[in-house]
Structure 1
Amino acid sequence: MNELGVALRAWRDRLEPRAVGLAHGSSRRVTGLRRAELAQLAGISPEYVVRLEQGRAGTPSAQVCSALARALQLSDEEQGHLFRLAGHAENPALVPQLIPQSVHRIVQQLTASPVLVCDAAWRMLHYNALFAATFGDPTTRSDDDRNALIYQFEGAATRVRQTPAERSAFEESLVADLRATSSRYPRDPDVAALIARLERSARFRELWALKLVGEHQTAQKIVVHPDVGDIALDSNVLVIQGTNLRLVVDTPRPGTDARSKLDLLATIGIQQMSASSPG
């Protein structure tokens, strides 16, 4: 067992099941959470939790670290310690991926809207249940593929429908935002690798050659949902000061029935929705 495994075990042992909505029956033989319970809360497999605690797993991704920190209800300081133990030390040359507790609290309050948290390179780090129910569960894709730019330029199947004009503006805005990120973090190898991967796309190469620099702020989209039909959404992006995290909040478009459809999805819940890829 390494230091990361020791810390995870200690944090798991101290967390009362009732604090995360689990019954604390008299038959429980362990203090705190069981490994399977932590795995369920974090969206990973119980076997992976075992390997992490025993020091037999490779370096967990920032997305996994964020999910574990959220499930274990770590403080900002503890979350930073988890990231350092996992090899994601704070480095001003790298795109920040640590999500402050204040941002987690904001996401928890925005239950009426699909909400996604991305880093400055548009990696999907965290999302709420309504986002998964609306767009599909992002965990159906690997960590490396869980990126809004990769979805857009590699032709992944999504539930999002846009007009040609909306799609063009959306792609141009995303690429301009990525160029700003690349200049802000010129020594981040993951940003360089992302750009190299995206350059396989002719459309991305075309937009990248324009050398536009900007900030992606808004978009309009129609979500073609297999259970409730078309949902018209307005997407707004809020940049978290100090971290450059992107808080993407989708709200129902005025004059449509999107509000009632989102309410229905929130009632039914993600587990009864058909799985698909996010938008």
Structure 2
Amino acid sequence: MSSAENDLGGLLRAWRDRCAPADVGLTAHGRRRARGLRREELAGLAGVSVDYLVRLEQGRSRRPGPPIVAALARALQLDEQETAVLHQAAGLPAPSSRAVPVHVPPGVQRLVTRMADYPVAVFAADWTLITWNAMWSALSGDPAGWPAAGRNLIRATFCRAPGESAAHGPDEDIERALVADLRQAVTSYPADEHLRSLVADVAEASPRFRELWNSGVAGRHASSRKVVRHRLVGELVLDCDVLTVPGSDLRIIVYTAAAGSPDAERLEFLRVSAVHTVTTGVSRPHRDGSTPPAVRDQG
């Protein structure tokens, strides 16, 4: 099959060749014929099997679903225009400006990757987790295995099962800020059906959310201190900062601890003892290339 007949495969190979391992937080081992990513490295980052990636590059599979295309775009650190081209090559419409954006700019992806000493994650405007680094997985558990409800911070905060306590302790200021954020998202993306469903579902399930939503509450995210209970290192008291990305409607959460403190030592223990078992996160499809029904990706 010629490259003209397999634009998708040609694009994947070209973008894989230009992406250096260091750019995605990988260490290059052994002799490499090119500076780019190996197939197994890209497959691991995107959460697909190597065999499925080979089929895509060779044109034997030509219609990956939207979550897989979005995962590949993030793993390859594509910009918005390139992401649109990849969708079109896969026979999919480009991501709509009417929906909550989930595109993570390459600079933000590099930031997440290179802040390897701290837990860092990126959320969309509806507080759906998009991507995270290995330390986030080490601290909170690998989100790749979480159900959809666990991937959305609004649902996880307000829709806990009876008797289930919040992982980081209840925080009324955070609840107010989350609801205020969600209201702003609804105003910015009124045509997003997933967003409307999120509000309706959580309002039906949570009296607390209903109360805050109906009150027209306003709030803002500020630096705060979180208590995290970890099965391996015990209790950690961490500073939590929410950073915004101008022009992209993304939220970046970063957990840190003061240098030399017992909590910093516990974070370092996590880094050296657990971080090798997880990799930089994306919304991960099944290894055969299909996607778990619980995972929604708006890309």
The question of a shared fold, defined as TM-score above 0.5 by the shorter chain, is answered with: yes
Q: 1:160 aligns with which of 161, 167, 171?
A: 167
Q: CA deviation at 1:254?
A: 8.6
* Mapping for residues 236-255 of structure 1, pairs under 5 Å: 236-252=241-257
Deviation string 1:230-262 (CA, Å, 9 cap, x unpaired) is 111121111111111101111226995211111
Inter-partner Cα distance in structure 1 for 2:243 and 2:82:
25
What TM-score, normalized by structure 1, do the two folds share? 0.78
Q: Partner of 2:270 in structure 1? A: 265
Q: 2:43 aligns with which of 39, 43, 47?
A: 39
Q: Does 1:126 align with 2:134?
A: no
Query: Unaligned regions of 5+ residues in structure 2, if any?
Result: 279-299
User: Does the 8 A contact of 1:218 with 1:236 survive in 2?
Assistant: yes
Amino acid paired to 2:152: N
SS at match of 1:161: coil
Q: Report how many aligned residue pairs link the two structures.
A: 266
Inter-partner Cα distance in structure 2 for 1:195 and 1:201:
10
Amino acid paired to 1:98: H
User: Does the 8 A contact of 1:84 with 1:90 survive in 2?
Assistant: no
Q: Does 1:230 align with 2:235?
A: yes
Inter-partner Cα distance in structure 2 for 1:256 and 1:144:
34
Judge which range, 190-199 or 216-225, deviates more: 216-225
Q: Partner of 2:294 in structure 1? A: none
Inter-partner Cα distance in structure 1 for 2:6 and 2:146:
29
Deviation string 1:70-108 (CA, Å, 9 cap, x unpaired) is 433545543343355564625432222111111122223
Q: Partner of 1:21 in structure 2? A: 27
Judge which range, 104-113 or 175-184, deviates more: 104-113
Amino acid paired to 1:223: V
SS at match of 1:221: strand
What CA RMSD, in Å, does the superposition of the two structures yield over aligned residues? 3.5
Q: Partner of 1:81 in structure 2? A: 85
Inter-partner Cα distance in structure 2 for 1:232 and 1:116:
18
Q: 1:186 aligns with which of 172, 186, 190?
A: 190
Deviation string 1:125-167 (CA, Å, 9 cap, x unpaired) is 11111111111111012457521112222227788231x4x2x
Inter-partner Cα distance in structure 2 for 1:230 and 1:171:
22
SS at match of 2:104: coil
SS at match of 2:204: coil
Query: Unaligned regions of 5+ residues in structure 1, if any?
Result: 274-279
Amino acid paired to 1:231: L
Inter-partner Cα distance in structure 2 for 1:21 and 1:192:
42
- Percent pairwise identity: 38
User: Does the 8 A contact of 1:66 with 1:99 survive in 2?
Assistant: no
Q: Partner of 2:293 in structure 1? A: none
Distance 1:254 1:268, change over 3 A: closer
Q: CA deviation at 1:221?
A: 1.8
